Amino acid sequence: MLLTNVPFLLYFLAFYPWGANLWFLLYAVLFVGYSAPPLRFKARPYLDSLSNAAYAFPLVFVPLALGEGVLWPAALGLMAWSAAKHTFDAVQDIDEDRNVGIWTTAVRLGARGVVLWSGAWWTIATVCFALVNPLVALVNATYAGWLLWSLNTRPTPETGHRLYPFSIAFPYVAGTVAGVQLVAAISLGAYP
């Protein structure tokens, strides 16, 4: 891992603005720290969820590296969305994680608590997305609402397992809605 990544890190540090590098370094620390000791965020309640915000960091460090402005509502919305989805998906593993002594956010909160935790983060994501694209926000609110309602109806790891394939489809559905709009805008000349 070091042989393939350190040369790029050194290149970035030498040639990109400090703001981009700061976000890139935080991105690397969070992803390595998720699994690697001593941090192992994946076994620490709340940090397991919040560290997944790093999935959205390219929306910050890429524009900064290119000298462009960051579309903060989109970046912050995706950070919140990622934290919510990570915990929602972990519901199916509550029993197994508890049995081996891994205390995740889902284990700490239980399935019903995850409905509230993920619901709060998905609400923040929806508000942020609405500032950028109301249709994506509507799709996000509808899909997240359905997932949360379904889990709340029967808050068990089994329900989490049954909903997992639908959760996996979530970013593809929302991404398709955003992507079709983007391709249409480009095709119609909205972006020169």
Give me the amino acid identity at 101.
Answer: G
Taking the C-alpha atoms of residue 150 and residue 120, their distance in angstroms, rounded to an integer, is 16
For the entire predicted model, the pTM comes to 0.93
CA–CA dist 177, 180 (Å, integer): 6
Alpha-carbon distance of 186 to 79, in angstroms, equals 26
Task: List, in order of start, the domains of the chain with CATH numbers.
Answer: 2-187 (1.20.120.1780)
The span from the first CA to the last CA of the chain, in angstroms, equals: 39
Q: What is the pLDDT of residues 79-108, one digit of tens each?
A: 999 999 999 999 999 999 999 999 999 999
pLDDT digits (tens, 9 = 90+) for 5-33: 889 889 988 999 999 999 999 999 999 99
Is the pLDDT confidence value at 192 over 80? no
